[in-house]
Structures are given as C-alpha cells and as structure tokens.
C-alpha cells in the first residue's frame, strides 16, 4: 500500500509540474522541407535567407508553436473553505491516518504464553499412524 501511495503522489506531482510548464517549439522551413526544430529556443536558419530590403519573396519561413501553462495555481486558505469541505478533508485525513495505524505494529498477542506441555507422543504410544 505504501508503494501505491508513493506512485500516486509522484504522478500527481508530475501533473502539477506539466500543467504549469510553458514552452515554445520553433521550426524553420526552407521551401517545403523542415530544416531545424528547436524547443526552448530559436531554430537555426538554412543560410538562404534573403535580405529584408529585397523585394523578392523568401523561400524560407519560420513557424512558432507556443504552449502556455498556468500562471497561478488557485490557492485556498482554510478560512475560505465551507464547513462541509473542512469536514470532508478532516474525514479523509482521519481515515487514511488511522486505517494503517495498527498495521505498523508487529505485536504478537500470545507471545507471553508458553506452549502446552505434551507429556506423551500419542501416535508412537498407541501406534496409530495416518496414511
């Protein structure tokens, strides 16, 4: 059960990180061919860029794809929660804390009692063996 909770917590942490992550993919095309792709930066050009003052149309084009993440995660204080929400959070905490509370102890309840004293081996004494 501990592995399961660790796995779930790691997965939820990745969800939070990836939902707040922003990045840009920059692509450079020369004609119809993709020359370079860059993530988190600018793509290198093919060296065939025409001067901007030239009146001819360039054969190259740049494409940018931007993925915007969340800027702020909604933070709620305990004072802003309703009574039902506070009760629910308290109940979930109590169930998960106390559900495994008794499993941590490795207590054997009959450890203090000695085993019964058996004076005779009845099978050998009466020669009755199960086959």
Q: Average the pLDDT over 19-44 and give the result.
A: 85
pLDDT recorded at residue 102: 59
Whether 93 maps to a domain, the answer reads no
Give the number of domains in the chain.
1
pLDDT band at 51 (very low <50, low <70, confident <90, very high): low
Q: Is 28 a domain residue?
A: yes
Is 101 inside any structural domain? no
Q: Is residue 17 part of a domain?
A: yes
In terms of residue numbers, what domain contains 9?
2-67
Percent of the chain with pLDDT over 90: 7
- Answer whether residue 30 is part of any domain: yes
Q: Taking a C-beta distance cutoff of 8 angstroms, is the pair 58, 28 a contact?
A: no
Indicate whether 59 belongs to any domain: yes
> What residues have CB less than 8 Å from 30, skipping those under 6 apart?
46, 48, 59, 60
User: Whole-angstrom Cα distance, residue 59 to residue 7?
Assistant: 50
> pTM for this structure?
0.41
List beta partners, residue 29: 34, 61
């Amino acid at each position: 059960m501990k592995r399961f909770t660790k796995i779930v917590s790691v997965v939820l942490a990745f969800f939070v990180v990836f939902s707040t992550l922003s990045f840009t993919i920059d692509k450079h095309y020369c004609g119809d061919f993709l020359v370079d792709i860059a993530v988190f930066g600018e793509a290198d050009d093919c060296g065939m860029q025409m001067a901007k003052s030239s009146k001819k149309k360039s054969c190259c084009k740049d494409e940018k794809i931007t993925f915007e993440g969340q800027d702020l995660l909604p933070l709620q204080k305990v004072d802003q929660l309703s009574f039902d929400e506070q009760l629910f959070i308290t109940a979930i905490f109590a169930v998960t804390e106390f559900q495994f509370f008794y499993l941590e102890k490795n207590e054997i309840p009959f450890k203090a009692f000695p085993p019964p004293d058996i004076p005779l081996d009845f099978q050998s004494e009466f020669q009755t063996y199960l086959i």
